[in-house]
Amino acid sequence: MGDERAGTGVRVVVLVSGRGTLLQALLDADGPFTVVAVGADRPGATGLERARAAGIPTFVQCLPDHPGRDAWNAALAADVRAHRPDVVVGAGFMKLVSQAFLDTIGCPMLNTHPALLPAFPGAHAVRDALAAGVGTTGATVHEVDAGLDSGPVLAQAEVPVLPDDDEPTLHERVKTEERRLLVDVVSGLATTGPAGNRRGVSDE
């Protein structure tokens, strides 16, 4: 059954895999949205602890607990739908979801990425940017499709690569922009409406 959390504005379900710092940015923001549930693909994700400390319902769907990815996607989608979100946010969620998941959650899904997409997709974007020797990288918020960081870009912010940067120092500055962008984009949905309202069902 879905939760009955009070709140105003856009209903947000957040998916996490690790520390949950992007989730915390949403929890700390005084925006026109409410985080109504937090899900994870691993029970030890710190983001779940952040949610529980804030009194937010949580759920976990571990891929190894299912006979295959299709079953995992279906179970994850069912948990998401139970909380009646207007938008789902992948906040450091390190699993690719399927087209079937996106078609059945009933709303768009957003994701943040620590690079200026389409440059440096994948799990090692900051490392890849440093290896490529670029002078500027950044952060992106995009709609999720069934590909790898390939959905439509909604917002971006540039971050300069400094001469003495290593992966941790650059990543920390990029994450600052990711958090700001994510709050701005989700807040903006309160006035523009979730993308799914424009497209009918999530496009991804």
Q: Which of 83, 113, 142, 171 is catalytic?
A: 113
Q: Is 129:170 a contact under the CB 8 Å cutoff?
A: yes
d(CA 65, CA 43): 12
- Active-site residue, 124 included: no
149: which 2 tokens?
Answer: 């960081």
82 DSSP 8-state letter? T
For the stretch 31-35, contacts whose Cβ atoms lie closer than 8 Å and that sit 24 or more positions apart, written own/partner, are 31/183, 31/186, 31/187, 31/190, 32/8, 32/187, 32/190, 32/191, 33/7, 33/9, 33/186, 33/187, 33/189, 33/190, 34/5, 34/6, 34/7, 34/8, 34/9, 34/10
DSSP β-bridge partners for residue 157: 139
Calculate helix-pair angle for 125-132, 167-192, nearest 10 degrees: 120
Instruction: Supply the residues annotated as catalytic.
Output: 113
